[in-house]
Amino acid sequence: MVRGWTLPVVFLACGIASAFRQTAQGSTGGAVTLFLLFLFAAALLSPLAFPRSIGAAEARRRSEADGRPIVYWRPGCRYCLRLRLRLARDARRLHWVNIWRDPEGAAAVRAATGGDETVPTVVVAGSPHVNPDPEWVRRHLP
């Protein structure tokens, strides 16, 4: 859980430090702008930018029942964020598994990718696909 929040907290701390520096130099507008920029980046890199994660076993059970793909992801992954942002509202139609919170999910990704934890790994109808194009994922939604 802590690992998923490390990068957003670092961005937030950098934003605060940059804002204080700008304020000390007399640029209140610059301070606010920098802080908001870093805050936005921290929010995008946080687990909050993704739909609620579930466990790998629950994701498999739900996917078998409703035919929706499973996305294995981790916070701070720019490719996961790209997939999430490009899918927009359709992202809620997938089952998301945070591999940093679910060891079984991490094991599933390692099994699918030959031993590494390359994410996003999307499982469609039992077949894993590493870092697929978001439009391809959208076409495979039920």
- Three-class secondary structure assignment of the chain: CHHHHHHHHHHHHHHHHHHHHHHHCCCHHHHHHHHHHHHHHHHHHCHHHCCCCCCHHHHHHHHHHHCCCEEEECCCCHHHHHHHHHHHHHHHHCEEEECCCCHHHHHHHHHHHCCCCCCCEEEECCEEEECCCHHHHHHCCC
pLDDT for 41 equals 87
Least confident residue range of 39-53, 56-70, 117-131: 39-53
Question: What does pTM read for this prediction?
Answer: 0.75
- Domain 51-139 fold is Glutaredoxin (3.40.30)
Q: Where are the alpha helices (DSSP H) in 95-133?
A: 103-113
pLDDT for 2 equals 67
- Mean pLDDT, residues 74-87: 91
**pLDDT at 56 exceeding the cut of 90:** yes
Pick the more confident residue, 118 or 43.
Answer: 118
pLDDT for 142 equals 87
pLDDT for 98 equals 95
